[in-house]
Amino acid sequence: MKKLLLCLLAFTVVSSADAQVLKRSSSSGGMKPAKKVTVYEEGKGVFAPSGWMGDVGCIKADPNCTEKPKTGKFCSKWTYDNSKGASQGWAGVYWLYPENNWGGKKGMDLSGHKRLSFWIRGDTGKEVVSIKIGGVKGDYPDTVTKELTALKLGSQWKQYSVDLTGRDLSNVSGGFCWTVDGKLNPKGCIFYLDEVVYE
């Protein structure tokens, strides 16, 4: 009986010490796993596609498109129709947090996340689209900027992953952005996005 009590006492002491270590590690951010933050999935996301730029009159959005989504019921369909008075020769959309936040407010703290991944495909396989993370200026500028320039899309879904290891993600208003250049898409373009997430 005495041995059993001693074993239980030792286990309690060790467990308490482990708990303190985990607590300290968690508070410092070292051990706590980062949760997934969704930019777009099934028509929803934490960031809002509210930052329309360039020839905004040439942009058409369908966040609940049912045309061959990667998974689930919906994907996000984007159309750039540069036959409709494309005076600036380009267009793009930022997913912003909070909605319509061009740096006038603090963005989201994504510290601990290691990458942003997304699925994308073109309608015909001849589309050229650029992707950007961060880059919003203003009073509270994004602490990160990263770009994938002039991606040549295929007609089948393809996943891209942007490595964010070691990047300062303490303030991100522009969670995701696409832009298209009229010179690279002389007849306009249609493309689809799905499962845009920080992990």
pLDDT value of position 34: 56
Instruction: Supply 13's token pair.
Output: 């002491």
- Which residues are paired to 181 by β-bridges? 90
- Distance CA(91)–CA(82), nearest Å, equals 9
- Distance CA(148)–CA(152), nearest Å, equals 11
Nearest to 93 by CA among 140, 61, 128, 139: 61
pLDDT value of position 84: 77
Residue-range domain boundaries for the chain? 1-32, 33-198
- Distance CA(15)–CA(8), nearest Å, equals 10
Per-residue pLDDT of the chain (199 residues; tens, 9 = 90+): 444 333 333 433 333 333 332 233 333 333 344 589 999 999 999 999 999 999 999 999 999 999 999 999 999 999 999 997 899 999 999 999 999 999 999 999 999 999 999 999 999 999 999 999 999 999 999 999 999 999 999 999 999 999 999 999 999 999 999 999 999 999 999 999 999 999 9
CATH code given to domain 33-198 = 2.60.120.260
Sign of CA dihedral 30, 32, 37, 42: positive
